[in-house]
Amino acid sequence: MLGSLNQCSVAPQAPKPINSMNYATFNRSISYNLLRRAFPIRAYCTVHSSKGNNLFSRISPVRRADLIIPVLDQWVVEGRKVTSLELQRIVRDLRSRKRFSQALQVSEWMSVSGLCPFKSGDCAVHLDLIGVVHGWEAAECYFNNLTDEQKNDKTYGALFNCYIREGLVEKSLAHFQKMKELGYAYCTLVYNNLMCLYRSTGQLERVSDVLSAMKENGVTPNNFSYRICINCCGERADFSGMEKLLEEMESQPFISVDWITYSMMANVYIKAEFKEKALAFLKKLEDKLHKDPIGYNHLISHYANLGNKEEMLRLWGVQKIVCKKQINRDYITMLGSLVKLGDLETAEAMLKEWESSNHTYDFRVPNVLLIGYCQNGLVDKAEIMLQDIIKKGKTPIPNSWAIIAAGYLNTHKMEKAFECLKEAIAVRAQNPGWRPKPHLVSTISKWLGDQHDTREQEAFLSSLKTVVTVNKDVHDTLGNTEASGIGEKNEIEEIVKL
């Protein structure tokens, strides 16, 4: 398999950045994943950093993709067994965590080691990973070098996903036609992915046509088929069409409508400001929750959007009883909802509850309140809160300082904004993927220039070299900022994404 990829005329390249909309579309076509976020984890620089008793415990901490194969080789050198099921589980776990480069390395090793079978399903996963990491052209080249036996419904489907992820309409449709001719297109997943293509490319009216084609061809729609159609109707403000689809969905004996569908319906009506309709679906949503904490998070967020604090607090109490244990994600949802309603006093009490609950300290939780303070002009209070956390022995992530820097920028306290941004850069190691927003950087740089403090300005720009590409993100942005007037925008939510 490695040879077939190397035969392709694809130059070596760094992992290709994934378009968030296209990847989200692809990810939903596999399963409906919700609220998935990565925690900052430090990189390991040697292959012996973990001495776990199972292969997964050795691979999981390794952050650099080029160190994955040495770990696998070392495992074999130690005389330990490796099985297809174990490697498949590791690849699946890495993919679920969006660690695609590492997953590709495991898959590559599996394909060339000869220690376990590399079946058509493994080949399809490998093809998809090539598409994510290196792009659709590399995936297409890999596919073209497969044997006729390996070119089956699974690998055709994987290449189809690659085209869809990139939004390549003509290639996707041509490939779909080929799959139909070979008899590979008559399954629900393929049609669902075609719906994703039309939705991601803005051809919303064609999504319902795909649903009709499914039925005509004897392909049974599933939950996702109806959900994407309902969502597209909502985006087009076709409320009657949305209701008809839901009625049809509820009438199908092979479909069990869960809380996700009712959450989508409620969300559409909340955005359209049809409060009574929204409340009716929120009641249906709650009836379907059972013990699903993510469902409670969505329900609480919906009531926050309706401005109903009473229901938010009631549901939080119910969630604490039904779900037994609350994790950081649950507190982030509740704190964000309280901040949205401007109830900082209750948010402060909830943060104290979280701090006393012995959860793993995740700065994304207090960051919610920091944003709340800054949005309400209480930037000094936000800084005092962060300093108090530091005094307790916690090292903040750069996002925390960036929130406060943005707050000071909005209140035109440039010296304070500058000091906070320097603090953010100083703790960048806590989240290596962090980047300051260009407008924050360029505005502070311009302010330093206006102070005629060349030495300070040069020192600041030098400190940024490990964080951003100064020529691109600072100098270019300076011109763009002045020309477009984007400095007038509120920076709090622009600077930091939770």
* Chain segment 237-294, per-residue pLDDT in tens: 999 999 999 999 999 999 999 999 999 999 999 999 999 999 999 999 999 998 999 9
Query: In which band, very low, low, confident or very high, does the pLDDT at 52 lie, cut at 50, 70 and 90?
Result: low
Q: What is the pLDDT of residue 237?
A: 95
What pLDDT, in 10s, does the model give residues 168-188?
A: 999 999 999 999 999 999 999
> Does residue 12 surpass a pLDDT of 80?
no
Q: Which among 131, 177, 133 is positioned nearest to 158, based on CA atoms?
A: 131
> Does residue 427 surpass a pLDDT of 60?
yes
What pLDDT, in 10s, does the model give residues 354-379?
A: 999 878 899 999 999 999 999 999 99
Dist CA 108 CA 87 (whole Å):
11
The mean pLDDT of the chain is 85
Q: Is 188 exposed, middle or buried (CB count within 10 Å of its CB: 0-12, 13-18, 19+)?
A: middle
Which range of 116-120, 374-378, 425-429, 473-477 scores highest in mean pLDDT? It is 374-378
> Does residue 498 surpass a pLDDT of 80?
no
Q: By percentage, how much of the chain surpasses pLDDT 90?
A: 71
Query: In which band, very low, low, confident or very high, does the pLDDT at 3 lie, cut at 50, 70 and 90?
Result: very low
Dist CA 365 CA 397 (whole Å):
12
> Does residue 48 surpass a pLDDT of 70?
no
Q: By percentage, how much of the chain surpasses pLDDT 70?
A: 83
What pLDDT, in 10s, does the model give residues 398-408?
A: 999 999 999 99
> Does residue 14 surpass a pLDDT of 90?
no
> Does residue 49 surpass a pLDDT of 80?
no
Dist CA 194 CA 210 (whole Å):
7
Lowest-pLDDT range of 101-115, 209-223, 295-309, 427-441? 427-441
Q: For residue 324, report the phi and psi dihedrals to the nearest 5 degrees.
A: 65, -65
Specify the pTM.
0.78
Task: Determine the number of helices (DSSP H) and then strands (DSSP E) in the chain.
Answer: 29, 0
- Which carries the bigger pLDDT value, residue 14 or residue 313? 313
Angle between helices 259-271 and 239-251 (to 10 degrees): 170
Fold assignment, 361-480 = 1.25.40
Helix (H) or strand (E) holding 250: helix 239-251
Do 183 and 156 meet the contact criterion of CB atoms below 8 Å apart?
A: no
